[in-house]
Amino acid sequence: MHPKVLLDACAELVRLTLTFEHPADAVVSRFFRDNRGLGPRERATLAETVYTVLRKKLLFDHMAPSGSGPKERRLAILGFYGPRDFLKGALTDQEKNWLDQCDAVTVDDLMERHRHNVPEWLVKPLKDQLGDGFWPLVGSLAQSAPLDLRVNALKDKRADVQKELAKAGIKALPTPYSPWGLRIDDKPALTKLDAFTRGAIEVQDEGSQLLALLLDAKRGEMVVDFCAGAGGKTLAVGATMRNTGRLYAFDVSGHRLDALKPRLARSGLSNVHPAAIAHERDDRVKRLAGKIDRVLVDAPCSGLGTLRRNPDLKWRQSPKAVEELTAKQTSILASAARLLKPGGRLVYATCSILPEENEAIAEAFSAAHPDFELLDAGELLAQLKVEGAQGLCSGGASGSGYLRLWPHVHQTDGFFAAVWTRKR
């Protein structure tokens, strides 16, 4: 494709994405569907250009006014994913001079906000939690995430799948913490592989795999995945149950549960029962009160732990949206807790890095529910033979550990989990 045509397409996709009316991944997918003539290389350039613009938006917004032409074109030039020589084939002399001046700017010349590219409302809570770790975190968020796979323990062994992928020319390394995980640095076409079509692998971040591990569901138990979504954790939990017992996959979105169905068919699991519910107090939920062995609440959250994959979230979320989410999280957790029988296990989890969605929710729940005892997530993972388990946790109330994963420390998405057992 000619550089000018590709740059024009990048500018148009940047324009569509920056309306923030829809998630960036949905906008990119729609654009590719509407432009089916694009090859793999053009698609990669388009997607990575948009994601670079989203990651460095404050810096590029600062540099763009000194350029010429439509703003989305200037942003696409600054974020262009590809060789500079190729890009310059699409530029006027004026644009080339401007780009050279932008490229000559060093990090030391920039204001702090143009170095971290994080909205101001997020800076303080992150600095308060991390101190000197703030800059390593924002550095990691400026990178794209690797691709993590979960090997379906019901069907295959991790080492066997690793060898199978190697034969297909895909280098995959075992994840350091999850016993089911493999990590790939590039983005191969997995859906064409036999390992994918027969259900031996699913795409799932290692942190997400650890949440399923923490639930530690056993054979023959009654288990609920309370906010199942597209079912990544549901499938992992079903495999730990060795396809026995009953695993209910609840969600308020039937559309999201529909996305679980093809994954469920590939997985070979027959113990999963998807069910759309109207809200957390639905009659389906009430009927199971006091009957369930384990409940996973992967709560609706800001998603700010996934900024390596979804950099648009930092511009689409707001303090008000987070406040609304925390009310929902509190209500969902309280409703889900009613399902448990005495001795049952409750796991509350988010893919957020904000304390108000994490520790604050867990501590409020503990205070309001004296019949639930907070467990140490690090100790639970150590019992499951997870190497370095204590390094995955931070201190909670009474010294108990919450699972707390960070992209710059653990190379996973940002995750939080608290675990309780019902005493009576």
Neighbouring C-beta atoms of residue 8, cutoff 10 Å: 14
Active-site annotation, residues: 351
**How many CA within 13 A on the CB side of residue 371?**
11
What is the rounded distance in angstroms from the CA atom of residue 329 to the CA atom of residue 357?
A: 8
H-only helix segments in 185-301: 194-197, 206-215, 232-240, 254-267, 283-287
- Collapsing DSSP to helix, strand or coil, 9 comes out as helix
Q: Who contacts 361 (Cβ-Cβ below 8 Å, separation ≥6)?
A: 299, 326, 329, 330, 333, 348
Identify the three-state secondary structure at position 246: strand
Q: How many CA atoms lie within 13 A of 390 on its CB side?
A: 3
Provide the residue count of the chain: 424
Residue 300: Cβ within 10 Å count: 18
DSSP 148-185: EEEE-TTT--HHHHHHHHHHTT---EE-SS-TTEEEES
Closest C-alpha among 271, 270, 293 to residue 345: 293
b or e along 353-392 (b: 16 or more beta carbons within 10 Å of the residue's beta carbon)?
Answer: bbbbbbbebbbebbeebeebebbbbbebbbeeebeebeeb
Q: How far apart are the C-alpha atoms of 359 and 402, rounded to whole Å?
A: 8
